[in-house]
Structures are given as C-alpha cells and as structure tokens.
Structure 1
C-alpha cells in the first residue's frame, strides 16, 4: 500500500523525473500529467490524496485548473508550484484554498516536507501530543499533591483543559483515558479543597479570598469602565472554560484579547445565586437582607432572576459610581436576539452596556430533555463543538461584529459552568426539599456525608435560611442527587447529562476575558 496517491501536473514534467523517483522511493504513488485538462479527467475518475500543480502551463493555467479541481473535490489538498512570487498571485492562490505554496525551483525535500505536512499532519500531531502529555502528566500529578492554593487550582484547571483540547488531536483512546482519570482525581482533590476553604472565603471578615461572583464586577469590570470608550460586559449564561476556548478563535478574528483569566462561581453554582450575586455585588444572604421583596428563595413563587438590574443599581450606588451611564440588555429568546442585532450601535451610546445572553444554559437543559440533543452533545467534545457552531451562527456574534470596528472594551464572563454527571447519590428529604440535581436545601435532609458538602447553617456559605432548620448540601465531582422514589428511573434518565449547582472544577472555575477592538 502506498503512503498516498500524488498527482503532479507540470508542462515540464520530464525534467522532474528524478523528483518523481525520489517520492516513489519514499513510498508515495505518483501520477504525472503535462496539462490541466488531462489532470481534471484523471481527478474525476480516480482517488487522489494531494495534487502538486504548476501555475504556468499552456492551455489552462494552474489557478484555473485549481478552481475546477475544487468544483470536483472541494476538500482535495492542492500545492501550487510557481516561479511567480507576485503578491496578488499569492493572494489569489490562498483565496482559492490551496494547502501549500512552493516557489520554483523546488528541491525534493521541500516537496516531501509539504506532503508530510498535509498527509501525515494528523498522525504526527497526535504522536507529539501524546508524548508531550506523558511528560506533563507527572508535573500535573505533583501540582495536585502539593496542597495548591486557589490561584494554583485555577492554573491546574487551565492546564487540564489545555490537555483535554489537545487530546482531541490524539487518536490514542488509552491516553485520553489517562487524562480523564487525572481530571477525575483533580476533581476529588478540588472537592476536599473547597470543603476546607469555602466558608472562610465568603466570611465578610476574610482577608484572603479569590475573585468570586459577588466581587467580579468590582475587580474585573469596573476598572475598565471609562468615559469616552464604551465598555460591553457580556455575560453568557453557563459557559464552561473549555467552551470559551472553543469560541475563542472566533472572537480573536474581530477582537484583540488582552487578558484571559478565571474566577470562582459561588455555591450553589446555579443562575439564580451566581448571577444575582454578580449584579448585586453581594452574597445571597446580603441580597435577601437588602432586597427582601426582590430576592426569591427556591421554593418561592415568581422568577428568580427578574431583578438583576435593580441589584446592579444598588451595587453602583454602594460603590459611589452611579454616575456611570449604562444599559441592561437581557436576551432570552430569538426575538430579543434579532433586536440586539438591529440595535447593536446603541451599545456605543453608554459608558457600560450589559448583555446577558441566555443560550448555553438553555442548550444544557434542552439536552437533558431532548433525545436528539443528547445525540448531538453526547460528551464534552461534542458539547464544545455544538457551542462553537451556535456562536459562529448566532445573532450575538452578528451584533458584536457590527461594532467590532469601533473603539470598545469587551469583557466576557459567565455565571457558572456545568459538569457531566455520572454517579447517582441517594438523598431523602421532606416535601419542601428543592429539585435541583446538584444541590438541595430543606429540613431533615438525609444523605451520606462523604457524598456532599453540607452546611447545616446556610449563613456560613453566605446563603439565606429559607426555612427554620434548613440546610444546604452540594454534590461533589460528577455526582447527582436522587430521591429513593423511582430511584433507578431517575438515575438512568439523568446520567450523562450536563448539570450545575454543585462542586466541581467545571462548574466553579469559569472564564472572564477582556478584549478590545483590533
């Protein structure tokens, strides 16, 4: 079996016989033609892996041949070979989607390198990725076992995510399994870390805590709000760090990324708590105290995120920055989204424009309920891919592109992430117990202490006390909380769905990114 089938088209092919022989000795099968017409007839009827194409030929030129080849096989890689180095020719060639570009006279190793890059690229990258991760595995293992602090945990998670994305290039199921095992071990240690430290972080007297939901605006957004340059604070609901990495290249086409960092979502890692805390600049227990009418506990009637703008006004007042001219835009359906596109330029009329975009969260909930989405987003790889595909075609991206040529600051953040749950844990509670799969609160909760992080007094976690003797519990790692009634049905129904509300790297360590126009 040849390594690959090469078609070489050049009107001076006789003078290239030594090069043809060189490639054949390396294991390639090489077919040669002296003009574009014969080459096109051959491509129509025969499988080919790469075309080497001379630009200057009698009859039809290389570029004309290239265009017709792409009509027949759009994905067929073509290497253009030319004596002509003019810039407009290169632009035409690159615009016609060539895979490589060689200047005559070419030597055999140049051609070989180009072929390797095109044909063997995936295999070579996979091999390199696997060996590089093997080297890094020990460093990550040591970092996990050296009692990391909250900054080091963010770095560990960023590295784990980096290798998870790199592993997509590897066709080694064994190495992917090793990485998943290391990530699982990291989540086990992270749960212990949060269990030991979370209460001290949210203590009002705390002198050392990471940036969290309720301090995000003060430390990561407000310092960049300036008169004369509009700042857009974009909050994409339920965006994991790896999903941000999937859409980052799309942002990078239109915006310059200055700072990419992470922060900690508060517990429960659920919209009602995290997002209200972000806009209020307060922990939920203090929001309830300051806004007793607007704050709604889980079991209360009414929308849980209807008063974000009221909370935000309160935060500006406390920070003595109610001079900031701002707009608040909440996108929860397609109609809102298209209105945002139509009125994108209005975002430039304020010091600060807040956009809350509620798509990824809907995607994760719909995935739980709809079989077709379970197929489309069956694991983290496809979930990232679906997020990237959504964003590229979204009204949100259209709106941002409309103002990308203007001088703006763009700060992207989220309220929390999500985790794919696999391990069911039994919980018993009374009728008032909440239904969320990753956290519960209620009276007389009965659970296995090792399965959850529990706060008998919710105030220790900065949370309101919904009813007397009410406690909160948070699921760890990839666990989800099920009641004994119909236990097997619910355990099977929710296994492998993306949920949020509990303690995991994926839910708690989330992106905040600062960009400007290019």
Structure 2
C-alpha cells in the first residue's frame, strides 16, 4: 500500500513532536511547517493526501491557508486545528470547505481517528466489503448446489443484486469478475429450475408462484376502496436492481407497505407479459376471449394496443362493484407532463393504471444508438442512466405530487432484461418471429442443449400460429442468431440488453406497495 503523505503546519510544531513520531510509527509520512506560506509553497510542489492546519499562525492564518490550498486542489482533505470554538470561525472554515476540525489541545488518538475517517475510510470499507463478499461467496456457492425452491431462488437473486450494488462502489476488478462468474452460475441453475417447473406451474396454480396474469388480482385490486385512490404504475422493462437504485428517492416521500417479487410468464416479452397483467389471462386465454384484439407474432400492427380494454374486462370479472378507473401509457416526456397536470382528475378515480415506457426505450436505444451504447456500456452504467431518467422524469413529479394525498401506490414492471453475450444459431422459416430471446414457428432447427423447447405451446397456455408451431427460449445470457449474416448480426447485438427468454433478471421482478409518509 502506498504511504500516506501528511502536511502539518503549526507555529508550535515542536510541541507536537510526540504526535509526529506516533504517526511515523504508524506508517504515515509527515512533513511539518511553522507557517502557512511555507506550507502552501510545499503543497504546490508535492503531492499530499491530507493537511493539518493550525488556525492561528503568524503571516497567513489557517483559514487563509485553507482557502489557498483548496484553490490549488479541492480534493485533498484539510483539517483545521484551533483553540477557539467561536461560531463565526467555524462558519468561515465551513465556507472554505473544511473537511474536519480539532480543538486544542489535541491528543494522538483524535489525530489517528481523523486520519482514518478521512483517508483510510475508503480502504477500510473496501477491505471489509471484499472480505464479507468472499465469505458470502462460499455460502452462495454451496446454496447453488442445492435443489432450491422458488422462494430460495428469490433470496439468491436478492443477495446477488445486493453484492452487485455493494461491489460497484469499490475499484476491485477481481471481486467484480468473481461476482459475474457466480451470477452466471446462478443463471445456469435457475434456467434448469424453470425448465423443470414452469409447465407444472401453468398446469397447477396451487404450486405456482405469483405469475403475470394474477398480478393485478393479488397485488392491486385488494387495495381498491371508496376512499383511497390506487395508482398502479408499471415501468416497462424495469429490473430488480434498477428498482433498488430508484427506491431511496421514492422512500423520501413514501413508506413501503409490502416489498415482494413475482414471476414474469414466458415469453418475458411485452406482448405476452404485459397483456397478461392487464387482462388477468394467459396468452392462449386472451386469444380465445378476445379473438379480435389479440395479436400473434405474425400479425401486423402493435402488439400492446388494447391494454385498456383488457383492463376493463379484468376489473369487471374480478371486482363485484363499480370501479372508476383510468389507463394511461406514457411514451414521451410531453405525455408525462400532461399526465402530471391531470393529477387532480386522477385522484377522483378508484384505480389509475399508468405505463411508463422509458426503460424499455432505453434498452432499445442502447441497441440502435452508438452513443447510448457508450453511456450504458455495462449494468452499472445502465442502472445509472435509469436513475438519471427517474430523477428528471414526469413520473417522479407525479409521485411527489400524489404523496401529499391519501393514496396507495403499486410500482412494478412486466419483465426485466439481460445483457446478452452468447450467440446461439437457429434456423427458421419466414414466419418465425424476430425476437432475439424467443422464437415461435414451425420447422425450427436448433441445438436442443442450448434452448428451452416447449413443443406444444398450449401446455404453456400460449397460442399456436399453426398446428405444428413450437416455442424455444434463450437460456441465461444467450441470444438467437441466424447463420446467414452471422458475424454482422453478432457485432450488432452482442452485449445489448434483451428480453423474452429465461434468466433471473427477466423473470424475478419487483412489485412494491407504498403509502405516503
């Protein structure tokens, strides 16, 4: 570890020799001066990690020296040492961006504590975090070897996201690499778990976790009453880790009543998962109940154009009373501003469903635009862009506005997304859909070890385009590529965020209920 260099200026520096010797013994390199002028000159010529300044020195005072040092390098922490606790002195020091202060006479323990707080804190936190993850790494590794149930998989995923966010604060590439490998292993085992259990969940509701088609019935409709408007806010394509980084802002105005996770149906694509949420039906059931509204992969036009009609039918089936509701889909900033302006009208409804499409558009823009690729070049940057959007979004304005009222807010998503890295070759006919994480069609040609095959779509309550149609789903971080133009396709789509297949990120997603503070 590089030696920490300290500059200490005090006109009575000889009286501080015991302190200096102690710091030398602890491995700190201390350079001393008796006045501010010499200290400032030395600071301008050499690198120092920390500065101690006596407030009352001949010539340049401590405050003046502090200000000059901060002008040269504002990032170096400065500690003012003073005999006075006068309020105006402290205000001057704080105005000059002091990092800490000590009252004379100082003792060695105070000095050491200050150094550790200002210099060693980041290193100590880094070492402690790395050590804690190393211990958890072993426990997680052993857990992944077990036959986990769904609740245990939620715990595993939450733990992985926790460490992602903790290690993100550290400059430790080795720890990041270890966590990435562990997350890949978790996704491998989770995919096997889904392949073994998904069709059984569809066949037997009693064994299934909460799926998309029952989300409103179980998590939103029970809050509807005659006195409290319910806001059901769906942020399209929002992963659990992205919710974790916007939640601290939300929690300034709302308290969490319930934090839960639910499972997106397959395919984890907007056309299927979000329609299932609003209709309260599985895709095959939608096709049968709404033959004029349901859109298959090969149909022309938008695939999520009838959510309001699906929601109206869902409310009618599941609520035994009149329910005044609204549905709004926000695709642009201006639409969001217009919605915020309509807040008072929304508060007159029993139930307000609002879809915000920004995160989904961000993932698509990252695929299509080089600039966005560079801004969101990894998961940490993707999270950061999401937070930046949220902080300046009409959604945040809306939440702050309704936090002043008696409301109930449910925030969720329809599916997550994963950064794809492994191309998998698939051959299909012209009718095969274009999604990179799932394919529906007949005569699909693929390596069975690289996909999850649902040979009979009706087993998963999925529609068939024709009698011999089947579905295949990408596993973990793979994506489907046609053999023709293979290299061009890979260059374009590799490391982009996609959805439609099987992964922890796509399938285990948040649903959180809030009340105003």
Instruction: Provide the TM-score with structure 2 as the length reference.
Output: 0.89
The answer to whether the 8 A contact 1:3-1:29 is kept is: no
Q: 1:451 to 1:110 in 2, by over 3 A?
A: same
Residue 171 in structure 1 maps to residue 171 in structure 2: yes
Superposition deviation, residue 484 in structure 1: 1.7
Contact kept, 8 Å, 1:234 with 1:357, in 2: the verdict is yes
Which residue of the partner structure matches residue 450 of structure 1? Answer: 449
Structure 1 unaligned spans of 5+: none
- Matched position secondary structure for 2:425: strand
Shift of 1:252: 2.8
* Deviation (angstroms), 1:407: 3.6
Aligned to 2:513: 514
When residues 117 and 503 of structure 1 are mapped into structure 2, their CA distance, relative to the original with a 3 A threshold, is same
Correspondence for 2:338: 339
- Check whether the contact 1:477–1:503 (CA below 8 A) recurs between aligned residues: yes
1:214 aligns to 2:213 (yes or no)? yes
CA drift at 1:416: 0.6
Deviations 1:9-28 (A, max 9, x none): 67876755543443344314
Instruction: State the match for 2:415 in structure 1.
Output: 416
Q: Who is 1:29 aligned against? A: 30
- Which residue is equivalent to 2:146? 146
CA contact (8 A) 1:313 1:322 kept: no
Find the aligned partners of 1:224 and 1:234 in 2 and give their Cα distance. 14
TM-fit CA distance, 1:328: 2.0
Find the residue that maps to 2:466 and give its secondary structure: coil
Partner residue, 2:188: 188
C-alpha displacement of 1:52: 4.3
The 1:229/1:320 distance shift into structure 2, 3 A limit, reads closer
Q: Separation in 1 of the partners of 2:400 and 2:240?
A: 22
Q: 1:372-396: CA deviations, max 9, x gaps?
A: 2222212212212222222223232
Q: How does 1:124-139 map to 2 (within 5 A)?
A: 124-139=124-139
What's the offset of the Cα at 1:417?
Answer: 0.7
Contact 2:231 2:351 in 1 (8 A): yes
Q: Which moved more, 1:358-367 or 1:170-179?
A: 170-179
Counterpart position of 2:111: 111
d(CA) in 1 for partners of 2:90 and 2:415?
46
TM-superposition CA deviations, 1:27-69 (whole Å, max 9, x none): 143455667x987787677654334467799999988987776
Unaligned runs of 5+ in 2: none
CA pair 14-209 structure 1, distance change in 2 beyond 3 A: same
| Partner residue, 1:488 | 487
Instruction: Judge conservation of contact 1:2–1:28 (CA < 8 Å) in 2.
Output: no
Say if 2:246 is the partner of 1:231: no
Give yes or no for the alignment of 1:461 onto 2:484.
no
Name the structure 1 match of 2:433.
Answer: 434
SS in 2 for 1:142: helix
Mean Cα deviation higher: 127-136 or 428-437: 127-136
Kept in 2, the 8 Å contact 1:12–1:34? The answer is no
- Worse-matched range after superposition: 9-18 or 130-139: 9-18
1:299 aligned partner? 298
Seen in structure 2, the aligned counterparts of structure 1 residues 232 and 57 have a Cα distance that, compared at 3 Å, is: farther
In 2: Cα distance, 1:88 partner to 1:399 partner: 42
Q: Which moved more, 1:218-227 or 1:459-468?
A: 218-227
Name the SS for the 1:238 alignment partner. Answer: coil
Query: How far apart are 1:80 and its partner, in Å?
Result: 5.8
Shift in Å at residue 429 of structure 1? 1.0
Which range moved further: 100-109 or 320-329?
A: 100-109
Compared CA separation, residues 24 and 333, structure 1 to 2 (3 A)? same
Number of paired residues?
516
Give the aligned partner of residue 159 of structure 1: 159
Q: 1:104 to 1:417 in 2, by over 3 A?
A: farther
Q: Structure 1 residues 103 and 394, CA, compared in 2 at 3 Å: closer, same or farther?
A: farther
Residues in 2 aligned to 1:81 and 1:346: alpha-carbon distance in whole angstroms: 59
Local SS of the residue matching 1:428: coil
In structure 2, the CA distance between the partners of 1:62 and 1:471, relative to structure 1 (3 Å rule), is farther
Distance 1:165 1:322, change over 3 A: same
Cα deviation for residue 198 of structure 1 reads: 0.5
Residues 276 and 305 in structure 1, CA contact (< 8 A), matched pair in contact too: yes
**Displacement, 1:280?**
1.2
Question: Shift in Å at residue 331 of structure 1?
Answer: 0.9
Alignment RMSD (CA, Å): 3.2
Q: Residue 207 of structure 1: SS of its match in structure 2?
A: helix
Structure 1 pair 246–92 and aligned structure 2 pair: CA distance change class (3 A):
farther
> Relative to 1, partners in 2 of residues 1:231 and 1:89: Cα closer, same or farther, differing over 3 Å?
farther
Aligned 1:466-481 pairs, distance under 5 A: 466-481=465-480
* 1:327 equivalent in alignment to 2:326: yes
In structure 2, the residue matched to 1:198 is 198
Counterparts of 2:45 and 2:402, CA distance in 1? 48
Whole-Å separation in 2 of the counterparts to 1:408 and 1:87: 45
Q: Secondary structure at the match of 1:253?
A: coil
Taking structure 1 as reference, are residues 155 and 71 closer, same or farther at Cα in structure 2, changes over 3 Å only?
same
Contact 1:9/1:34 (8 A) holds in 2 = yes
The question of whether the paired residues in 1 share the 8 Å contact of 2:80 and 2:100 is answered with yes
Kept in 2: contact 1:2–1:29 (CA 8 A)? no
Q: Which moved more, 1:5-14 or 1:468-477?
A: 5-14
CA 220–50 in structure 1, closer or farther in 2 if over 3 Å, else same? farther
Is contact 2:280-2:314 (8 Å) kept? Answer: yes
- Cα distance change, pair 486–399 in 1 and its aligned pair in 2 (3 A): same
- Counterparts of 2:56 and 2:322 in 1: how far apart (Å)? 66
Report the secondary structure of 2:303's partner residue. coil
- Report the CA distance between 1:114 and its aligned residue: 2.5
Please state whether the residue corresponding to 2:127 is helix, strand or coil. Answer: helix
